[in-house]
Chains A and B, each alone.
Chain A
Amino acid sequence: MSRTLSESDSKLILRDCGVPFLPEVLVSEVEQVEDALLRMAGPYAVKLCGENISHKSERGLVRLGVNGVDAVKQACRELLSAARPEDEATGVLVAPMATGLREFIAGVSVDPVFGPTIVFGLGGVLAEAIADATVRLAPIRRYDALDMLSSLRSRSLLGPFRGEPAVNREAMADLLCSLSEAATSISGLRSIDLNPVMIVGGAPVALDALIEIEDAEVEL
């Protein structure tokens, strides 16, 4: 069996490996919201965070573009009261909204024959239909990371796109190498999802993270 880590725990671990995330604050009580908002400009993304939450968007546990202290507080209240016991909720994540037209998926998947692999693919709403992804065995070299970018069928999205600058390939390669580091250093790892990795001003930023590990090995 396996279990998932909470979004904030997943991000803590992956941030140490070098994965770029937005600054965000985990608030466990509505009273902490005001302090949290002092550290970042709105509008905000507000998400329920817990050990065992999947399908966050489908369950309405993600609120985007929330403006102002009162609205954020209200969103926190609603999300905390929507939590089910099995979610093992640890609080609400408040982050500044990121905007960008391009989304990718990156992660780690453990292949039954080849072991941990690094996955990079096109994200966004059409991702499943287009199914454009490329895979390498972990660990990867920097050459492999850059080769992964060139291997996507939709690699033209890495160039300048509808007024947005070209994707910083070196930064995206860094992100994939960080995943490789995570793949080889987290014991009992089953999978990592960074979905989406949004391109903000040309730089990749992971907006969500989910680490899945073997249930037997819980020490972090």
Chain B
Amino acid sequence: MITSEHFRALFDPRGIVVAGASTHPGKFGFVALHNILSCGFEGDVFATNRERAEVLGRTTVADLTEIPHGKADLVFVCTPAASNHEVLRQAAAVGIKAAFIASAGYGESGEAGLELQRELVELANELKMMIVGPNGQGLVSTPSSLCAQIVAPYPPAGSIGIASQSGNFVSSFMNLSRQSGVGISRAISVGNAAQVGILDMLEYFADDPKTSVGLVYVEGISNGREFADRLENVCRRMPVVLLKGGSSGLGAKAAASHTGSLATDDRVFDGLCRQVGATRASSISEAFDIAAAFATLPAPRGPRLAVVTTVGGWGVLAADAISATNLDLVELPPDLRNTLDGLLPPRWSRNNPIDLAGGETKDTVPAVLNAVVGHGDIDSTLVLGMGIQSNQGRLEREGPFYPGHGLDRIVAFHDRQDSRYAEVALAASSAAGKPVLIASELAVGDPNNAAVAAVRSTGHYCFPSAERAVVALHGLYEREVWLASLGTPGDGGR
């Protein structure tokens, strides 16, 4: 009964109504209208207020019956639960197809609320409306510059689609998006998921040309088989990164069985993710890392990984991280080793990780990166040590001697070099169609660092550490392995 037209109304509405707009800046009905008006939504915006009070300088109407038919197709509901049946009826009467219900007082509040929630769904079905929530924080849709939520932030545009059973996780992911510059297409908190839930959103994302990867926080799963089957269908079309909280188990398992005690909820969920081709993450930051990698990098063709580092220690730790995965820190092919011999002083590591040992000159790093990334026996490249020069440049720029003593020129040179290294690495990535991951704690420590800024300006993600980059790349690689398994004759489906 839910159609693509409902999702169009939800994420790309021509007009939107805030039901229950408030003059009090602390109320949801104020914040929702504020956020919609502040982030560039170009469609019509209406608001209802029982007293017709002016809110944020805009006139309001007493109820939805006063809104011209067909001008709005989404209503953002902040009215008390008791009023919402009437709000939905009026909304349907003026041609509204979708409602986001932020109001609380439903299933989360006990038996009476649950009954009210059931009635709300029945009414929505009868009116042929889609309702999201209740008790949700809202939605974001960057293709429509829509920030219909009672929380912040509004993220940059991109191709990550977020769906969450907890609104706060949507905020968490979008905060990381804003910090890193890797953007969001759609984001939605499904609240109590009374009529539509996470999987409905994922299925829409899989069809949505603006979305390339799903990023999901899930807590409760009621129908496990349906969940697994629908998730697999989505994963065949689009990568999905899952963060799971809480326990899915509803009861104790059969006590007579040894295997039963081994089949913990966590292991069941873990296994199901591997089976259906979803990438499970263990933390908010890891989930975002992996989603950002899917959104910005080409898929690796194989496990062979090269690490290029300006200093030894980082490469050692990266190698440790790689050894915990199915990625392969390959031995350098002889011809590549010969090429690098010609570019670097004799003290370079002559192995993988490729430790430049401080031997780089102005043009060495670009030449090394091009040689490594472009080599036929290397599937992915991890680059460490970007931003060191401009980090020193920052200290000099902020110090008491700047700009004298030639500091202005050297600082500008450092910044240019680091920008160039990052740009070369990512250009080599595009040219070869292979992932190149740049990792530096400066991504968090100094997002304005020239290398970090250059990565961000090309739409890429600067990973905050080598270990996190390796985990993300492993996620990309494992998805490729899973996709390949679907093509195995006679082994193409469950």
User: Using a CB–CB distance below 8 Å, which chain A residues touch chain B?
Assistant: 2, 4, 54, 105-115, 117, 119, 121, 131, 133-137, 139-144, 147-148, 150-151, 190-193, 195, 210, 212
Evaluate contact between B259 and A2: CB separation under 8 angstroms: no
Evaluate contact between A141 and B491: CB separation under 8 angstroms: yes
Evaluate contact between A191 and B257: CB separation under 8 angstroms: yes
Proximity bits, B236-266, A CB within 8 Å = 1, else 0 = 0000000000001111011011111011110
Q: Say how far B330's CB is from chain A's closest CB, in angstroms.
A: 20
Evaluate contact between B259 and A112: CB separation under 8 angstroms: no
Check: B224 CB closer than 8 A to any chain A CB: yes
Evaluate contact between B253 and A112: CB separation under 8 angstroms: yes
Check: B27 CB closer than 8 A to any chain A CB: no
Check: B488 CB closer than 8 A to any chain A CB: yes
Within 8 Å CB of B485, what residues of A?
141, 143
Evaluate contact between A113 and B221: CB separation under 8 angstroms: yes
Within 8 Å CB of B251, what residues of A?
112
Evaluate contact between B224 and A190: CB separation under 8 angstroms: no
Proximity bits, B261-278, A CB within 8 Å = 1, else 0 = 011110110111011000
Alpha-carbon gap, A5 to B217, bound state (A)? 42
28 CB-based A-B contacts, threshold 8 Å: A105-B258, A106-B259, A109-B259, A109-B260, A109-B262, A109-B263, A111-B268, A114-B248, A114-B268, A114-B272, A117-B268, A119-B263, A121-B259, A121-B262, A131-B262, A135-B262, A135-B263, A135-B267, A136-B275, A137-B228, A137-B272, A140-B494, A141-B491, A141-B494, A143-B491, A148-B271, A191-B257, A192-B257
- Cβ 8 A contact of B250, one of A113, A143, A148: A113
Alpha-carbon gap, A140 to B270, bound state (A)? 14
Q: Say how far B109's CB is from chain A's closest CB, in angstroms.
A: 24
A2-B256, A137-B268, A139-B494 known; A113+B488 contact, CB < 8 A:
no
Check: B225 CB closer than 8 A to any chain A CB: yes
Evaluate contact between A143 and B248: CB separation under 8 angstroms: no
Alpha-carbon gap, A109 to B260, bound state (A)? 5
Alpha-carbon gap, A123 to B272, bound state (A)? 22
Evaluate contact between A112 and B249: CB separation under 8 angstroms: yes
Measured CB to CB, the nearest residue on chain B to A131 is B262
- Cβ 8 A contact of B267, one of A133, A142, A191: A133
Within 8 Å CB of B223, what residues of A?
113
A140-B494, A141-B491 known; A133+B254 contact, CB < 8 A:
no
Please name the 9 residue pairs, one residue from A and one from B, whose CB atoms are nearest each other, closest first: A107-B259, A114-B224, A191-B257, A113-B224, A133-B262, A109-B263, A143-B485, A119-B259, A135-B271
Within 8 Å CB of A105, what residues of B?
258-259, 262
